[in-house]
Amino acid sequence: MVLEVQDRAAPQSDPIAAAVKLRPRVLEGSEQRFGPSDPDPNLDLLQRPRIARLVRNRKFQFLLILPNQIVFWTVIFVGLLGTAIPGLNFGAAITWYVWFCLVFVMMVVVGRAWCAMCPFGGFAEWIQRRTLWQRTQKALGLGRKFPEPLARLGFILPVGTFLLLTWIEEFFNIAGPGNPAATSFMVIGIVVTALAFFLVFERRTFCRYICPLTSLIGTVGSMGTVAGFRTKDRDVCLNCKTKDCMRGGEQGFGCPWYTWPASADSNLYCGLCSECYKSCPEGNVGLFLQKPFTSVVAPRRRRADIAWAIALLWGLVLYQQINATNFFGVIDNWLNTELHFPHYPNPVDYLGMIGVLALATAGVGWMIAKIFARRDLELDRPGAFADRSSRFRAFFVPFAYGLIPIVGADYFARQLPKFLQHAPRVVPAVAHIFGASSSHSAIYNFSLATNGWIVVVQVVVVALGTLAAAWSMWKISGRELASISTSRLGVRLTTLAVVLGSGTVAALLYVIMHAAD
């Protein structure tokens, strides 16, 4: 369901009526104000006057975005006009050796920190709003609603764009890195696509429904310690007549992400833009911290689209590990010959293997649900679901959430070879812009770790992710997955075994790959 919200300058329906109809359980009064998934009221960063003044300043987000704007326009121009040697080209070096790893660190620590400073959405939003930071009343563009059938796909749609962008990147060897100009064209393509969506649709429709990174940042970022902007007292929000946080007020725009602070129970869709805080006339919005993994284990409302997105993302990173083995190369070459496709990656085995791995993840959940529900039926216990589809959904959705830490760890480990082998090249790449370095410099040829140590680090990262997933799954299974069966301990031990097995497979693949990037 698309939450219909518009700016004050245009006619509008009540956005909160739609939210109440969509999520009645969250809006029962102040007794749920700080329930299991709500942040601790004592962890509101905006209780500190200096931080509050900084965040309320309309230049705050502009100053977050500006440095990244400078970097990424530099990436574009240097990629097109600079040296063709990837390791000496600043555009290719900073993008593929450093940036992707840093984004993953931000996800795990903060959540959607990248969204708050993203140069792609930021640039397009400046044009859409016709301002760099001031509050304007009329936006540039058509301001259309995103089609509801597509909006209902939720995270599935941006996972699709992520799979497409990844296939393009691998087909043209952009992240090899290959020709630096290819990196520039890829960045230009993202900027142009973002701008087109910002000019056709309202607010940050591109960021919520299309951006290739939004599903990855949203899911992996749920491990982060920043809960996002949330309401302090939900009763105040329910009784509010103006709903400036959603419609926009004199001091701020309506939430660009269509997220009502009073209904948020995770950091999933908070882009940390601070507009709801600036807009709220009651001062009822705070910026909260939370314990790590809170948005993984604690949300009251879990979504099927997120569960399938996690399964597909897990399938993609496993595919990337498998395709680094000699066995996969034989299959891909055979398919390319049979289908007369020029070279790796063949789209058939690319989509096919990702789909099979995602379905296998869902299939494990289905099998566990079936086994324990059948056991209850045989023993005439009340815990089993009679309806198969409801039993599958009741198990698979929270089960997939529990896999988030291991999926995030696997993606991070996948980026480590480039970072540990080549990150120092960013220094001579910067110097090369001014003609002061070459590929023969000591820094250019320096690695932070040998291949053997890279494998060790990758295995350690996966092991930590596996332990975090085991803890998350133990918490989730005890509270939610046990609802499919009265054998609570059996469900917990079985899901724990699945997590440990998944982590073992991912770690073994890194050993087999031997630091291949």
What pLDDT is attached to residue 482? 65
Which residues 6+ apart lie within 8 Å of 140 measured at CB? 127, 128, 129, 130, 199
What pLDDT is attached to residue 176? 84
Question: pLDDT tens for residues 237-246?
Answer: 888 888 999 9
Q: Average pLDDT in the 24-30 region?
A: 37
Question: pLDDT tens for residues 325-342?
Answer: 877 778 888 888 888 899
Q: Average pLDDT in the 436-449 region?
A: 86
Contact in structure between 199 and 121 (CB atoms under 8 Å): no
Q: Average pLDDT in the 179-188 region?
A: 95
Contact in structure between 261 and 276 (CB atoms under 8 Å): yes
| Distance between CA atoms of residues 299 and 302, nearest Å | 6
Q: Which pTM value belongs to this model?
A: 0.89
More confident residue, 393 or 387: 393
Task: Give the residues across from 287 on adjacent strands.
Answer: 229
What pLDDT is attached to residue 66? 95
CB-facing half-sphere around the CA of 314: CA atoms within 13 A: 29
Quick one: 330 exposed, middle or buried, by C-beta within 10 A (0-12, 13-18, 19+)? exposed
| Distance between CA atoms of residues 512 and 155, nearest Å | 32
Q: Average pLDDT in the 198-216 region?
A: 95
What pLDDT is attached to residue 456? 96
Confidence of residue 354 (pLDDT cuts 50, 70, 90): very high
The sign of the torsion formed by the CA atoms of 301, 305, 308, 312 equals negative
Contact in structure between 492 and 474 (CB atoms under 8 Å): yes
More confident residue, 313 or 34: 313
Q: Average pLDDT in the 156-167 region?
A: 96
Residue 161 CB neighbours (<10 A): 19
Highest mean pLDDT pick, 104-108, 134-138, 430-434, 454-458: 454-458
Q: Average pLDDT in the 159-174 region?
A: 95
